[in-house]
Amino acid sequence: MKRLLTAAAAAIALVLTGCAGNEPDPVVTPSGGGLAYPVTVGTVTLAAQPSKIVSLSPTATEMLFAIGAGPQVTAVDDQSTFPADAPKTDLSGFKPNAEAIAAKDPDLVVVSGDADGIVAQLGKLSIPVFVSPAAADLDETYQGITDLGMLTGHRSEAGALTERMAADIDRIVKAVPARSTPLTYYYELGPDLYSATSKTFIGSVFGLFGMTNVADAADPDGKLGGYPQLSQESLVQSNPDTIFLADTRCCQQSAGTVKARAGWASVTAVAKGQIYPLDDDIASRWGPRTVDLVQVVADAVAKVPA
């Protein structure tokens, strides 16, 4: 799948959308049980259950369909590739166009960040916009699902989904034998060697297995938002036990292309064939399919000899 941004720009976008994660938890004030409205989540109040939702966030799209709000979604952005039957359009979440969005006549728009001041632009048109920011950890993922469940009238389905995700992840993690020495890993966002540190959502997933991230040294104070670009010299010197590739679709990277990189033959992960390709979409989102990512990491860890 063609990406609109390079790995470096994507990392910056994640940082920007993730900033909202530092805000206080949203205020949720339903008027009653069931599907009773009005409902307020954060700064958004809906007088009635939305029936024409526009999602400009691939992760929010996955969440909406997973909680049963799919029939209420009438348009999604050009990067929303899952589920396959989502009503994909040419709308952009990176460069949102207020006029194009308004033409869809939405009663709720969901975004992952306030790109180009789109919240205020649509606010002037009396179109409610809910910002569902990038999650920093699993708890924030569960909160995002809960918020969307409240707004769309699917509270019970959202609750069931978060409980199921938590249970599945707990089961997967517990099934992996503990190691006396933590495995080190390098997580690749692109062949230009941008990576994600332990302070990101991706880092929190690997942290479930007690793994050590070799990218942490490149952004120790978090000034790069957790998405530093590594030098080839420092990466080879850090000698990770495992390599995970989140650039298999965008950049056609594979175990073969990594092995062919000059100077990488001495890296333990390369020498021992411990290179694991990921689905770019699943690896870059923080929604329901995070369970699939956890399973892939678990399978990889289990394969590495203790």
Provide the pLDDT for residue 11. Answer: 46
* SS3 readout for 81-127: CCCCCCCECCCCCCCCCHHHHHCCCCCEEEECCCHHHHHHHHHCCCC
Each residue of 207-265: pLDDT tens digit? 999 999 999 999 999 999 999 999 999 999 999 999 999 999 999 999 999 999 999 99
Each residue of 5-24: pLDDT tens digit? 444 444 444 433 333 333 44
**Tally of CB atoms within 10 A around 306:** 9
Residue 277 structure tokens = 């390709």
User: From the centroid of its chain, how far is CA 280?
Assistant: 10
Domain spans, the chain: 27-170, 179-303
Provide the pLDDT for residue 306. Answer: 85
Quote the mean pLDDT of the chain.
Answer: 91
H or E element that contains 74: strand 73-76
What is 179-303's CATH topology?
Rossmann fold (3.40.50)
* SS3 readout for 257-291: HHHCCCCCCCCHHHHCCCEEECCHHHHHCCCCCHH
Each residue of 288-299: pLDDT tens digit? 999 999 999 999
CA dist 7 and 299 (Å) reads 26
- Rounded mean pLDDT, 261-276: 97
Provide the pLDDT for residue 34. Answer: 53
CA dist 226 and 115 (Å) reads 20
Each residue of 79-127: pLDDT tens digit? 999 999 999 999 999 999 999 999 999 999 999 999 999 999 999 999 9
Each residue of 177-203: pLDDT tens digit? 989 999 999 999 999 999 999 999 999
The reply to whether domains 27-170 and 179-303 share a CATH topology is yes
Provide the pLDDT for residue 26. Answer: 45
Contact call for residues 129 and 44 (beta carbons, < 8 A): yes
Q: Find, among 180, 173, 179, 200, the residue nearest to 189 by Cα.
A: 200
CATH number of 27-170: 3.40.50.1980
Which residue type occupies 158? Answer: A
CA dist 195 and 223 (Å) reads 14
DSSP letter for each residue of 212-224? EETTGGGSTTSTT
* SS3 readout for 123-155: HCCCCCEEECCCCCCHHHHHHHHHHHHHHHCCH
